[in-house]
Amino acid sequence: MLKKINSTIVLLAMVFGAMLTINAQDAPPYAMWETIMLTPDNTQLKVLSENMRKHNQTYHGAGVHKSTVWSIATGPNVGKLVWQMGPTTYTHLDNRPAEGGHDEDWRDNVMPYIKKMHTAEYWKAHASIGNTDMIAPGAITYPILFIRFWEIEPGQGFSINTFFTRVQNTVKALDGENPWGLYTNEFRQGDLGRHLASISFMKTWAELDIDVNWVETFNKVNGNNAWQNQQNMGRTTFKNSWDEIWVYDKNMSGD
Domain ranges of the chain: 30-248
- Give phi and psi for 3, each to the nearest 5: -70, -55
Distance CA 166, CA 37 (A): 31
Task: Provide mean pLDDT across the span 148-163.
Answer: 96
Distance CA 174, CA 188 (A): 34
Distance CA 27, CA 74 (A): 35
Query: Is the separation of the CB atoms in 245 and 144 below 8 Å?
Result: yes
Q: CA separation (Å) from 18 to 23, 137, 181? A: 16, 6, 12
Distance of CA 143 to the CA centre of its chain: 11
Q: Yes or no: is domain 30-248 CATH 3.40.50.300?
A: no
**What per-residue confidence (pLDDT) applies to 3?**
44
- Give phi and psi for 32, each to the nearest 5: -140, 145
Q: What band does 255 get if pLDDT is binned at 50, 70 and 90?
A: confident
pLDDT digits (tens, 9 = 90+) for 169-180: 999 999 999 999
**What per-residue confidence (pLDDT) applies to 28?**
64
Task: Provide mean pLDDT across the span 71-92.
Answer: 97
Poorest-confidence range of 130-139, 142-151, 197-206, 223-232?
130-139
E strand or H helix at 242: strand 238-248
Give the percent of the chain with pLDDT over 90.
83
Distance CA 4, CA 176 (A): 10
pLDDT digits (tens, 9 = 90+) for 3-54: 443 433 333 333 333 333 333 335 568 999 999 999 999 999 999 999 999 9
**What per-residue confidence (pLDDT) applies to 1?**
39
CA triplet 135, 139, 144: central angle to 5 degrees? 70
Of the candidates 71, 76, 64, the residue with the CA atom closest to the CA atom of residue 48? 71
CB neighbours (10 Å) of residue 164? 22
**What per-residue confidence (pLDDT) applies to 127?**
87
**What per-residue confidence (pLDDT) applies to 222?**
97
**What per-residue confidence (pLDDT) applies to 191?**
85
Entry pTM? 0.87
